[in-house]
Amino acid sequence: MLNIAVLVSGGGTNLQAIIDQIESHKITNASIKVVISNNKNAYALERAKKHGIPAECISPKDYESREAFNQALLKFLEESGVDLIVLAGYLVVVPECIIEKFRNRIINIHPSLIPSFCGTGYYGLKVHEAALRRGVKVSGATVHFVDEGTDTGPIIMQKAVPVYPQDTPQVLQRRIMEQAEWQILPAAIDAIANGRVEVKDGIALVRE
């Protein structure tokens, strides 16, 4: 059984997709051990509690230094016995000490087809604003392992979604969530939980 920590900052619709697919057995061999938010008001924490999942707020604001926060988060994850960390709309930069200890055991969902519209500054609606400014005809989402760079780790799954001329950033964001994010994040977790993902020479290989 793969023990998962889901790290969130906001609404938690991706968290909800994971919970739903675990409950409906579309994700197998995995369970959410804890949901951690940096923001005590994140609705994602309520979603966890409604499903009986332990929900914790660990915020940089509650520590005297960034380093103290980083160490507290690392300690909490290690003591929770977590095998996989899922970043589902987590707006805090994951510190190197955690990336090192959880090498190829942290995944992130990004709302574009990496390497387009990713890296520093591309988060939330900014991703979709940039895609619309560029006039792309497809966008989508990517699940990738997290390394020391921003959105640079091995790509696990991607799904493309059409972009229409009348789209607003909000409309495009919603379509990408519904048609891509909520599908490929749970699918990637299921693939990892069932031993179908391996990383070789910086490339993630996923078996059907």
Residues of this chain that bind ligand GRF (CB under 6 A):
8, 10-14, 44, 88-89, 109-111, 177, 181
Nearest-approach distance from CB 65 to ligand GRF, in angstroms: 26
Give the pair of three-digit tokens for residue 93: 């930069």
Angle at 42 between CA 19 and CA 116, to 5 degrees: 75
Give the pair of three-digit tokens for residue 99: 């990336």
Is 110 assigned a catalytic role?
Answer: yes
Name all contacts of 70-76 with Cβ < 8 Å and 24+ positions apart.
Answer: 70/95, 70/97, 70/98, 71/97, 73/36, 73/98, 74/98, 74/101, 76/36
Q: Which is nearer to ligand GRF, 60 or 124 (CB)?
A: 124
Nearest-approach distance from CB 12 to ligand GRF, in angstroms: 5
Nearest-approach distance from CB 184 to ligand GRF, in angstroms: 10
Nearest-approach distance from CB 33 to ligand GRF, in angstroms: 18
* Cβ atoms of residues 99 and 145 within 8 Å: no
Q: Which is nearer to ligand GRF, 5 or 109 (CB)?
A: 109
Q: Write down the catalytic residue from 25, 51, 110, 128.
A: 110
Q: Which residue is nearest to ligand GRF (CB)?
A: 89
Residues in the chain: 208
Give the pair of three-digit tokens for residue 192: 């990892």
Q: Which is nearer to ligand GRF, 8 or 73 (CB)?
A: 8
Q: Which is nearer to ligand GRF, 185 or 193 (CB)?
A: 185
Q: Which is nearer to ligand GRF, 49 or 75 (CB)?
A: 49
Cα gap 44→53, rounded to integer Å: 11
Nearest-approach distance from CB 9 to ligand GRF, in angstroms: 7
Closest CA to 180 of 127, 134, 130, 135: 127
Alpha carbon 19 to its chain's center: 14
Residue numbers annotated as active site: 110
